[in-house]
Amino acid sequence: MFIHLKDVESKGVVRIEETVDLQDTLPKSASLTDFGPLHVKLEAHDKFGTAEVTGELSIEVEQPCSRCLGPVRHTLTIPFHETFALGEAPETEDNLESDEDYDVEWVSDQRIELAPYLAESVMLALPYVPLCDEACQGLCPVCGANRNEKACGCKQEKVDPRLAGLADFFAQSKD
Ligand SMILES: [Zn+2]
Ligand SMILES: [Zn+2]
């Protein structure tokens, strides 16, 4: 999906409403096992020769539940805001607005491929701790059973052995 700076400049505003396939741009990983097409609704406004692109993205993603590892599917709605300018980043930014939010992406071609910026927005919007359910019981640390499905009845130590080791370590390092 492209926007053309010249197009934005001559028209003043360009509206984009499209569905994009990010399969080639957005890497799948352990924390992002699958995703659907990205729905894009953007407006590019000419602002003194730069293109200010704002709008909203939405995408259905699949992530593993951080407690039971079961698949969690949810739809993310992501605000998008990026300003594109043709040229090289100036060494001093005194000539730009001092507004902290004013962050320009400098591009070398007036035809801008938006997909990498869209993919980055999706990456940043992924929840760190996805849960299949707020009340998810997770996996039993002893036998690995999914405790949402059955109560395995394992007895659990009150202190996680790894944390106990850490506690010893801190006790020693105080001396
Ligand atoms: Zn879960
Ligand atoms: Zn168990």
Element (H, E) at 152: none
Concatenating the DSSP letter of every residue in the chain gives: -EEEHHHHHHHSEEEEEEEE--TTTS--BTTB-EE-PEEEEEEEEEETTEEEEEEEEEEEEEEE-TTT--EEEEEEEEEEEEEEEES---S--TTS---TT--EEEESSSEEE-HHHHHHHHHHHS-SS--S-TT---B-TTT--BTTT--------SS-HHHHHHHHHHHHHH-
Ligand nearest to the CA of residue 156, numbered in listed order: 2
Q: Which residues surround the ion ligand 1 when the cut-off is CB under 5 Å?
A: 65, 67-68, 70, 132, 136
Please determine, for residue 166, whether its predicted confidence score (pLDDT) is greater than 60.
yes
Please determine, for residue 165, whether its predicted confidence score (pLDDT) is greater than 90.
no
pLDDT score for 90: 74
| CA dist., res. 53 & res. 41, Å (int) | 10
pLDDT, tens digit, 9 for 90 and up, residues 112-146: 999 999 999 999 999 999 999 999 999 999 999 99
Say which residue, 12 or 155, is predicted with more confidence.
12
| CA dist., res. 59 & res. 91, Å (int) | 37
Please determine, for residue 58, whether its predicted confidence score (pLDDT) is greater than 60.
yes
| CA dist., res. 51 & res. 9, Å (int) | 8
Say which residue, 4 or 88, is predicted with more confidence.
4
Q: Pick the closest to residue 110 from 7, 18, 13 (CA basis).
A: 7
Q: Give me ligand 1 centre to Cα 164, in Å.
A: 26
Ligand nearest to the CA of residue 148, numbered in listed order: 1
β-pairing, 111-113 vs 50-64, is: unpaired
pLDDT, tens digit, 9 for 90 and up, residues 148-164: 998 898 987 665 656 66
pLDDT score for 103: 77
pLDDT score for 49: 83
- Average pLDDT on 33-42 reads 97
Q: Give me ligand 1 centre to Cα 157, in Å.
A: 22
Q: What's the mean per-residue pLDDT of the chain?
A: 87
Phi, psi of 18 (to 5 degrees): -150, 165
